[in-house]
Amino acid sequence: MLSERRVLVTGGAQGIGAAIALGLAKAGADIVIADLAAQSGTAEALMTKITELGQRAEFVEIDVTDKASVEAAVEAAGQIDVLVNNAGILVPSRLEDLDEASWQKHFDINAKGVLLCTNAFLPQMRERKFGRVINIASLAARQGIPTEGHYAATKATVVTLTRVYAQEVGEDGITVNAICPGIILTEMAQNKLVGADREYWTNATSLKRLGDPGDVAGAAVYFASDLADYVTGQALNVCGGLYFH
Ligand SMILES: NC(=O)c1ccc[n+]([C@@H]2O[C@H](COP(=O)([O-])OP(=O)(O)OC[C@H]3O[C@@H](n4cnc5c(N)ncnc54)[C@H](O)[C@@H]3O)[C@@H](O)[C@H]2O)c1
């Protein structure tokens, strides 16, 4: 389905990014895992799995908040047909207790990172008149919950960037879409989901289960494929029926 497509996944060494990388590789894509240098060891096992599927796998160092690092990653990665902007952080805090440094860090990684990476890969996509950009936003973009207000604001920004980019680059055959995962059991979510909280959120989903990272991969495969040729500027909830808007 994705043969001859080369995909770069930011924050792809673990969690949702790793599951998306694997899902796209199963659909026939070659994968560049782009993550912080410290994650190169973590990415090893994933790269072995991808090569066992018969696809190419490479690791490229990137800090999505740093323009020079992003430009070096573009240089190292070469031609990229599908960019998955997945790198992100969540350090919970009530808004009243939030310090400025944390606000800034969340916006730098979760929102500015999408801007820097997208802008860096667009010129080659425009030249080839083809490209797919898939932004990993969050259900938090739809409705913030206590202790995640700053994070929700970054993800609402990602959805807005998705809609505007779609209009600005569509003329060159490039689509830009977002995925809004619900609660997906990665390191990020495990840390906050303990005891009664976990039971509450499990019961709040229509499917009565929290998500696995692999649950997000199908939506990414769809947006990366020809099946989504006429779909752009959209944000798709992948949340087990936790939220409906
Ligand atoms: N887990 C969830 O429930 C959930 C729900 C909705 C959205 N999301 C979003 O999905 C994405 C992945 O989340 P996850 O749960 O897999 O998190 P995770 O913490 O397991 O993985 C995040 C990855 O991003 C990388 N990263 C962090 N800062 C970076 C930087 N400056 N440059 C490059 N890479 C960087 C990390 O090294 C890590 O590999 C995030 O954008 C997150 O906001 C997660």
Report domain extents, the chain: 6-238
Q: Is 151 a catalytic residue?
A: yes
Q: List pLDDT tens digits, range 95-140.
A: 999 999 999 999 999 999 999 999 999 999 999 999 999 999 999 9
DSSP, collapsed to helix, strand or coil, labels residue 209 as coil
Whole-number Å distance between alpha carbons of 184 and 238: 9
Q: Is the pLDDT of residue 192 over 80?
A: no
Query: Residue 39 Cα, ligand 1 centroid: separation in angstroms?
Result: 12
Tracing tokens 């040729």 back to the chain, one arrives at 229
From 10, 32, 158, 186, the mutation candidate for ligand 1 (largest count of ligand atoms within 8 A of CB) is 186
Q: What is the CA radius of gyration of the chain?
A: 17
Q: Phi then psi for 184, rounded to 5 degrees?
A: -115, 130
Report the CATH fold assignment for 6-238: Rossmann fold (3.40.50)
**Strands (DSSP E) along the chain, which ranges?**
6-10, 30-35, 57-61, 82-85, 131-136, 174-181, 235-238
CB 179: neighbour CB atoms within 10 A?
26
Counting atoms of ligand 1 from 1, which one is nearest the CA of 110? 41
* Structure tokens that stand for 198 in this block: 């976990």
Whole-number Å distance between alpha carbons of 80 and 99: 37
Whole-number Å distance between alpha carbons of 140 and 146: 10
Query: Residue 171 Cα, ligand 1 centroid: separation in angstroms?
Result: 31
What pLDDT sits at residue 56? 98
Q: Is the pLDDT of residue 51 over 80?
A: yes
* Structure tokens that stand for 52 in this block: 């066992």
